[in-house]
Structure 1
Amino acid sequence: MPSFFVTIMCRELLTYLHKLIRTYISQLDLVMDID
């Protein structure tokens, strides 16, 4: 497995995690606003 492929996969994974965290935080904010 070439190293550049690993780098791309890591970058994609980080981007995906970042989106998940942002979505989670925004939903958390909504819950806080309601409460």
Structure 2
Amino acid sequence: MKGRWSIFVNGNWRLTFEFIQGNVYVLEYEDYH
């Protein structure tokens, strides 16, 4: 999605977040496969 970033943490786990006015907000922590 536009404006969202993701980092693969370990195995299938992914952290999705976005920046709002310079602050980071976590949107999802999911088992992605």
TM-score grouping bracket, smaller chain normalisation: under 0.3
Where is the helix percentage greater, Structure 1 or Structure 2? 1
Greater relative contact order, per chain length (Cα 8 Å cut-off, separation 6+): 2
Q: TM-score when scaled to structure 2?
A: 0.20
Work out which of the two has the higher radius of gyration on C-alpha atoms and give 1 or 2. Answer: 1
The TM-score, its normalising length taken from structure 1, stands at 0.20
Q: Which has the higher strand share?
A: 2
